Structure 1
Amino acid sequence: MHHTITTHIFLASVIVCLAVISPISAAESDGYPRALISTSLGDITIELYPDSAPRSVEIFLGLAEGKRPWRDPESEEMVTRPYYDGTIFHRVIKDFMIQGGDILGTGHGGAGFTFADEINAAGLGLDTTPAISNGQPHPHIAGLPNVIAAIRDHYIVPRLNARGVSRNSPPAQQQRAIHDILEELDGQLSIQDLYETMGYRYDDELIARPPVAGSLCLANRGPNTNAGQFFINVTDTPHLQGLHTVFGHVIAGMDVVHAISESATDEQARPTHPVTIISVRRIDSDDSSQERPEE
């Protein structure tokens, strides 16, 4: 039954649409705090967005500089030393992103606490973007298994049950019912509505910024599960809008980001030769030697 539903939703909906987004302008860049990520392959300068993600920026800088207590996985004690120093980029996918900030270096570690997402979904247009159109999921969500499962579990299965249709019903009856349900949902369910059903919560007061090439985003395992890990986009990722906090942007060193993204990796996307984060430190925002992205 679930296989039939999932297959039906995925039909003709596997093309991913990439949004065309302009890079941050120099005028917009003025006055934002900056940090330098020193890696074993070179330096990356980032600008942080307290107007989009104030709590995330505060926690990131606090962890980076050793001012925010975090739990040492060996001693189980709360410590105040620079969290990111000596960690690695543990997950690297060419033409997608580079991910780091895990104290264990496995993808399963964190700072010993979690904090909430900071996302303005309406500002990203997700409140008016249909999750389902013409009987198909929006291209930005079609390739996300957990989102497709949410459509199935929260919207399709309850409506099938209300119609008295079960996995024991004839396949043709199941297909007709699914078709009718998708028509009911067509254009009526926004992506924001869908994500809120999954547990995401949004703040319309924040400045909305989409995840584009060079964006610094928080990695998570679902709503409000941020724990210190972050990733830097190598390309635009419109399918991640509404799912990850965007709290900064690379303003110099994208060549280093690309170099890291092209590292040889194993089957778990882990670099075979570790790429180390030597340190992350706040730097002077007025340093004119730091480059800005081209306009």
Structure 2
Amino acid sequence: MASRLGLPLGDDGALATADDPEAAYDALIGVEADQDLVAVLHTSMGPLSCILYRRAAPVTVANFVGLARGTLPWIDPRSGGIGEGSLYAETTFHRVIPEFMIQGGDPLGDGTGGPGYRFPDEISAGLSFDRPGVLAMANSGPHTNGSQFFITEAPVSSLNGLHTIFGQCDQEAVAVVAEIARTQTRGDRPLEPVRLEQVEIRAVPKGPGGG
């Protein structure tokens, strides 16, 4: 089999995922140990800037970065073929609930799509849903992470231990999250699509309390 940098298949013919060491390395290539990672989610309602916790949730961050950059292979659920480029580009926030959260990262845009694989939770005892702006993985139960994520608008202690937290968004982002959460909806789905245009990944000098 070709390497992960060539065909997106491992030696066993399976799709490489971020919990594979080579795939994780590829996803974070160019990032130094003394740097923090920041994701800027460019939405149709404004940017969301979030620091990523790559030390507390290394697999989850490698997955998010790889799917954002298009360096991690994924299966397009519409065609069944290998996805082209970033999974997140030109997707939508398909579920928004005021005083709770906004959810996105589904290539189908209806809450049923993903990258064609699942990977384990990374629950950290030192991280909790104790504030607005927490960036975490959506799931359908333990160890069912894929590409969907959510950002909280308020503290939600009932989610502690159930979802992998892998980042924290800044105050300006929380204001945008609140605006997105209050768009007109039917069944928690925005009537006017809120687009995630792209996810930009930046490596920045490590700061206090960084990821």
- Provide TM-score, normalisation by structure 2: 0.78
Query: C-alpha displacement at 1:109, in angstroms?
Result: 0.6
Query: C-alpha displacement at 1:116, in angstroms?
Result: 0.5
Q: Could you list the per-position Cα deviations for residues 135-161 of structure 1 after superposition, in whole angstroms to 9, with x for gaps in the alignment? A: xxxxxxxxxxxxxxxxxxxxxxxxxxx
Runs of 4+ in 1 over 2 A off after TM superposition: none
For 1:2-81, what aligned pairs fall within 5 Å after superposition?
Answer: 31-81=35-85
Q: How many corresponding residue pairs?
A: 174
User: What letter corresponds to residue 163 of structure 2 in structure 1?
Assistant: H
2:142 to 205, 220, 223: 223
Query: C-alpha displacement at 1:31, in angstroms?
Result: 4.3
Structure-2 separation of matches of 1:249 and 1:47: 5
2:104 to 100, 118, 122: 100
Q: Could you list the per-position Cα deviations for residues 243-267 of structure 1 after superposition, in whole angstroms to 9, with x for gaps in the alignment? A: 000000102422111110111110x
- Provide the residue aligned with 2:189 in structure 1: 270
Structure-2 separation of matches of 1:110 and 1:284: 26
1:210 to 101, 123, 128: 128
Identity of aligned residues (%): 42
Decide whether the 8 Å contact of 2:35 with 2:206 is kept in 1. no
1:280 to 182, 191, 199: 199
Decide whether the 8 Å contact of 1:214 with 1:234 is kept in 2. yes
State the secondary structure of the residue aligned to 1:217. Answer: strand
- Asked which structure has the greater CA Rg, the reply is 1
Structure 1 vs Structure 2 CA RMSD: 2.0
Unaligned residue ranges in structure 2 (runs of 5+): 1-33
For 1:121-270, what aligned pairs fall within 5 Å after superposition?
Answer: 123=125, 208-211=126-129, 212-251=131-170, 252-266=172-186, 268-270=187-189
Decide whether the 8 Å contact of 1:67 with 1:80 is kept in 2. no
Bigger shift: residues 247-256 or 223-232? 247-256
Aligned CA distance change for structure 1 residues 283 and 213 (closer, same or farther; 3 Å)? same
Q: Which has the higher contact order (CA 8 A, sep 6+)?
A: 1
Decide whether the 8 Å contact of 1:89 with 1:105 is kept in 2. yes
Q: Could you list the per-position Cα deviations for residues 47-100 of structure 1 after superposition, in whole angstroms to 9, with x for gaps in the alignment? A: 000121100000000000100111112221123411100100000000100000
Structure-1 separation of matches of 2:132 and 2:198: 22
Query: C-alpha displacement at 1:286, in angstroms?
Result: 4.1
- Provide TM-score, normalisation by structure 1: 0.56
Decide whether the 8 Å contact of 1:68 with 1:80 is kept in 2. no
Structure-1 separation of matches of 2:116 and 2:134: 25
Aligned CA distance change for structure 1 residues 84 and 77 (closer, same or farther; 3 Å)? same
Decide whether the 8 Å contact of 1:88 with 1:277 is kept in 2. yes
User: What letter corresponds to residue 70 of structure 1 in structure 2?
Assistant: W
Structure-2 separation of matches of 1:263 and 1:55: 33
